[in-house]
Amino acid sequence: MTRGETPLAGPVQHRRHFLFVIPSEVEEPLAVTMADDRKTLEQRAQMTDIERLRHSAAHVLATAILKIWPEAQFAAGPPVENGFYYDLELDHRISPEDFEKIEAEMKKETKANHVFERVVLPRDEALSMAQRGVLGALGERPSPSKFKLDIIQNIPEGEEISLYRNGEFTDLCAGPHVMRTGNVGAFKLTHVASAYYKGDEKNPQLQRIYGTAFKNKTQLDEYFAMLEEAKKRDHRKLGKELELFTFDDDVGPGLPLWLPRGAAIIEELEKLAKETEFAAGYQRVRTTNLARESLYLKSGHLPYYKESMFPPMIVRKGEEFRTYFENWEKEQNRLHEDTASIFLPDIKDPEVRAKIGGMSTDEMNRWIEQRIAGMGQEAVNEFNRMAVDNFIPTLMMGQVAPVEDRYYLKAMNCPHHHKLFAALPRSYRDLPLRLAEYGTCHRYEQSGELFGLMRVRSLQMNDAHIYCTPEQFETEFNAVNEMYLKYFKLFGIEKYLMRFSTHDPAKLGQKFVDEPELWKQTEEMTRNVLKNSGINFVEVPNEAAFYGPKIDVQAWSAIGREFSIATNQVDFAQPRRFNLVYKDRDNTEKTPLCIHRAPLGTHERFIGFLIEHYAGNFPLWLAPEQVRILPIGDEAPLLDYARAIQNELRAHQVRAELDASSDHIKAKIANAEQMKVHTMLVLGNRDLEASAVSVRIHGKGNVGARPRAEVIADLLLSIKERKA
RNA sequence: GCCGAAGUAGCUCAGCUGGUAGAGCAGCUGAUUCGUAAUCAGCAGGUCACGGGUUCGAGUCCCGUCUUCGGCUCCA
């Protein structure tokens, strides 16, 4: 798989967070997916105006680069979400310092206002042009346009081949383009990155020059102003400024440490989830962070998911003894055969191993003597000679470190929860059984994938597994979706999308578990639930998990960053792997369905999302510091009054601080505003005399003085109701 | 993991082609007693990410490591 993404059921996903994952039996070949996904000419023609403009800007960029470096080899130059890029091969490493020079050439090209001319031509002619190096070039060149050549060779027979010209520049291109280069009104190169040709690391590595383009300068400026604004909301920046979390090299990459202010947000989310789930009939459970290898063998996560798990902890020195064992096994002599014939079956027999495991050294020696009693004297001598450094450690392997005894940090909670299901005899009366846990999971994300709080190696999910009968499924699934919607409403998440991934009946038994009826049934029910609930969703065929249909929940933060908050999945395979059963009405044992769900995803990602969503201006109930009391001056009676108010608030679990510094009131306010404290209570002698407090709300300013009791009551109500 | 860039005080950053490490904010101390976004002064704060190398001399040049950031098919 590319980029070491775990081979999961379903396609490789970039910057996606997997709630939990079960490997497919058959890894999906990537190449097939690519072939399937090739865009048709018709699809290509469907470009929006801005995409068309940006695609043309990519041609202008190529033109400019060729003016400076005529030998550059171009690959693909599409429009992308916020601009365009062009991939090229060039010995000179283009750096941002080159941008000015390139942009100047681009400017010349747009000033010249060349027409974009489309030419349709036969395949052999296109091939010949590529051979002569004229595609993606300003004219004939000594070496062929190799990427263009490759692209032409991959164009299906019968599909029209076209090229576009602007001035001296000719490029293989399906189009479409704007009329003239002058239509590319305003542009700017933004960054340079690297990319493999066709995204395959076996292919040459190319330089990717990114830029953006707009109709005019005003729109371009607006775009960059928006980017500036977005930067201010970046959760990494705000996380530091607001003292929410930190990373430390000694702790390790991707392992966030939550400062008190950040932990306060976590506490609130936990409280929210616990209340909501309790009301919805969930039960809390707690499971360990570690488990034996055998658990993950049973769940099927090993070896498929191994790459994404931290390497195992091996109890005692199993590896070392195994090496002895391997060396010993390699010995090709009579001794080997004799001893092997006696001891190999012993070593491989778990019962014998367990027996040896309980022996003291003396007992073991006696046992060995008994086992070799039938051998000739010569063999016994030889055996004794090598027993000390070879054979006994080999046996001890069975005693101290069997191969199975490895422990892994858990990467998902489901196997543990399945064990809890299995811990008690279950009847249909126990279902649905909803087990919830804020469990800490560890995943070995690739170093290049780590990204602030969005992609970490230590994470806590607001996880739960619902075990139910097929009859209960629809109600349960609907309830889960209701919960999602409730949360969206609470957090004011307006832009979201649920991607409903279904199976392809043609791939049953390969990509998808061979349960045609269950697939049909659960997909139908899921579809109904989605339709009836008015949820914004799209159906994505052929992208289901191996074991059942799933829903990915995507949301967009205020700065347009996409978040895959959670996946919500149906699973009818894992309960079977774990032999989970309940006794049904008819006294037969049946396997439950399992729904995996985590509406808030992980603390880490969700808080990252919230930081950007609120730009750090959290609503009162979530604010790390809900109230700060700011006395005007530091006279004793005033400070006593301030402390009394703080104590009263704290008694009601309100996160209230007191600024008793010698700063002037203006400075105290500035400090509190900077830390985005939600409510500031300004106290002067006027307030003291009137038993009042002056309320100032972050972002709103002074809202006036009111009686102390009234203000406190309002604060408590607002927190209790989680008002926006 | 791969490619590229970056790492200087708690934070934000300056430090030119190698020549004794700097500012603002935060911190500490003192003064200031101020009614809604920054009162004044003084002090302290650094193994220039880490480890090697070149050099009379390295924050600066070279190599390696770590971390962070931007990317790694939204596809002629």
Q: Is the CB of A492 under 7 A from strand B?
A: no
Q: Which residue in the block uniquely carries the two structure tokens 């070995």?
A: A444
* Backbone phi and psi for residue A655, each to the nearest 5 degrees, phi listed first: -75, 90
Distance CA A219, CA A188 (A): 12
Mean pLDDT, residues A661-689 taken together: 95
Least confident among A128-142, A179-193, A379-393, A485-499: A379-393
- The answer to whether some atom of strand B lies closer than 7 Å to the beta carbon of A448 is yes
Task: Please state the rounded mean pLDDT for residues A462-491.
Answer: 92
Confidence of residue A204 (pLDDT cuts 50, 70, 90): confident
Contact status, residue A505 vs residue A464, Cβ threshold 8 Å: no
Nucleotides of B under 7 A from a protein CB: 1-5, 11-12, 26, 31-39, 66-76
Residue A3: pLDDT above 90? no
Burial level of A91, CB count in 10 A (0-12/13-18/19+)?
Answer: exposed
Asked if A9 and A546 touch (Cβ cutoff 8 Å), the reply is yes
Of the pLDDT bands very low, low, confident and very high (cuts 50, 70, 90), residue A660 is very high
| Furthest-apart CA atoms within chain A: distance in Å | 106
Tokens 């991707």 belong to A254
Residue recorded with tokens 């609120």? A614
* Residue A261 vs residue A574, higher pLDDT: A261
Per-residue confidence (pLDDT) for residue A10, from 0 to 100? 24
What pLDDT score was predicted for residue A224?
Answer: 82
Q: pLDDT band for position A547 (50/70/90)? A: confident
User: Domain A266-293+409-614 in CATH: superfamily?
Assistant: Bira Bifunctional Protein; Domain 2 (3.30.930.10)
For residue A391, the 8-state DSSP code is I
Minimum mean pLDDT range among A229-243, A311-325, A398-412, A611-625: A311-325
- How many helices (H) and strands (E) in chain A? 25, 28
Q: What are phi and psi of A178, to 5 degrees?
A: -75, 175
Q: Is the CB of A287 under 7 A from strand B?
A: no
Show the CA angle centred on residue A528, arms to residues A525 and A531, nearest 5°: 155
Q: What is the mean pLDDT of residues A262-267?
A: 96
Q: How confident is the model at residue A4, as a pLDDT? A: 27
> Best-predicted range by mean pLDDT among A132-141, A149-158, A233-242?
A233-242
Predicted interface score ipTM higher than 0.90: yes
Question: What's the confidence (pLDDT) of residue A174?
Answer: 85
pLDDT at residue A185 tops 90? no
Place A458 in a pLDDT band, splitting at 50, 70 and 90.
very high
> Over 50: is that where the pLDDT of A348 sits?
yes
A665 touches strand B (CB under 7 A): yes
Fold identical between A47-223 and A266-293+409-614? no
Which residues, 6 or more positions from A15, have their beta carbon under 8 angstroms from its beta carbon?
Answer: A449, A451, A454, A455, A562, A564
Q: What is the DSSP string of A657-719?
A: EE--SS--HHHHHHHHHHTT-SEEEEE-HHHHHHTEEEEEETTTEEEEEEEHHHHHHHHHHHH
Between A513 and A5, name the one with better pLDDT.
A513
A162-166 and A290-292 beta bridge pairing: unpaired
- In the structure encoding, which two tokens stand for residue A539, read together? 């159906």
| A342 pLDDT more than 60 | yes
Q: Which nucleotide's C1' is closest to A210 (Cα)?
A: B71
Q: Which residues of A545-556 are buried (b: 16+ CB within 10 A; e: fewer)?
A: bbbbbbbbbbbb
* Sequence spans of domains, chain A: 47-223, 266-293+409-614, 316-400, 627-720
A160 vs A344: which has the higher pLDDT: A160
**pLDDT for residue A338:** 57
User: Which whole-number Å values give the CA distances from A178 to A110, A117, A175, in the listed order?
Assistant: 12, 10, 9
**Is a pLDDT exceeding 70 seen at residue A329?**
no
pLDDT bin (cut points 50, 70, 90) of residue A93 is: confident
Q: Are A318 and A402 spatial neighbours (Cβ–Cβ below 8 Å)?
A: yes
Q: Is the pLDDT of residue A335 over 60?
A: no
Nucleotide nearest to A689 (CA to C1'): B35
**pLDDT in the model for residue A629:** 97
Q: How many CB atoms lie within 10 A of CB A125?
A: 12
Encode A529-558 in three state secondary structure: HHHHHCCCEEEECCCCECCECEEEEEEECC
Overall average pLDDT of the A688-711 stretch: 96
The mean per-residue pLDDT over the stretch A421-433 comes to: 96
A254 confidence band (pLDDT: 50, 70, 90): very high
Return chain A residues 200..229 having CB < 7 Å to nucleic acid strand B. Answer: 200-201, 205, 208
Question: What per-residue confidence (pLDDT) applies to A63?
Answer: 92
The separation between CA A231 and the C-alpha centre of its own chain, rounded to angstroms, equals 21
Q: Note the CATH number of domain A47-223.
A: 3.30.980.10
* Pairwise pLDDT comparison (A385 vs A273), residue with the higher score: A273
Sorting pLDDT into bands at 50, 70 and 90, what band is A9?
A: very low
Calculate the angstrom distance between C1' of B17 and CA of A218: 40
Instruction: Answer for the pair A209, A61: CB distance below 8 angstroms, yes or no.
Output: yes
CA-CA distance, A106 to A126, in Å (whole number)? 26
Better pLDDT: A690 or A195: A690
What is the third-level CATH fold of A627-720? Rossmann fold (3.40.50)
> Minimal CA–CA distance to A151: which of A138, A136, A132?
A136
pLDDT for position A360 = 59
- Average pLDDT score over chain A: 82
Tokens of A497: 């999308």
Q: Is the CB of A195 under 7 A from strand B?
A: yes
pLDDT at A364 over 70: no
- pLDDT confidence band for A622 (50 / 70 / 90): very high
Identify which of A62-71, A122-131, A328-337, A646-655 has the greatest average pLDDT.
A646-655
Percent of chain A with pLDDT over 90: 37
Residue A257: predicted pLDDT? 93
Give pLDDT, residue A468.
Answer: 95
Between these two residues, A481 and A513, which has the higher pLDDT value? Answer: A481
* Strand B, CB < 7 A, residues 607-636 of A: 631-635
What is the pLDDT, as a whole number, of residue A332? Answer: 38
Which residues, at least 6 apart from A267, have a Cβ–Cβ distance to it below 8 Å? none
Residues A205-248: pLDDT tens digits? 788 888 899 988 888 888 888 887 888 889 999 999 999 999 98
Which of the four pLDDT bands, split at 50, 70 and 90, describes residue A375? low
Using the CB atom, is residue A253 less than 7 Å from strand B? yes
Q: How confident is the model at residue A343 (pLDDT cuts 50, 70, 90)?
A: low
Does at least one atom of strand B sit less than 7 Å from the CB of A684?
A: yes
Cα A437 to the center of its chain, rounded Å: 19
Identify the weakest region by mean pLDDT among A153-162, A298-307, A311-320, A569-578.
A311-320
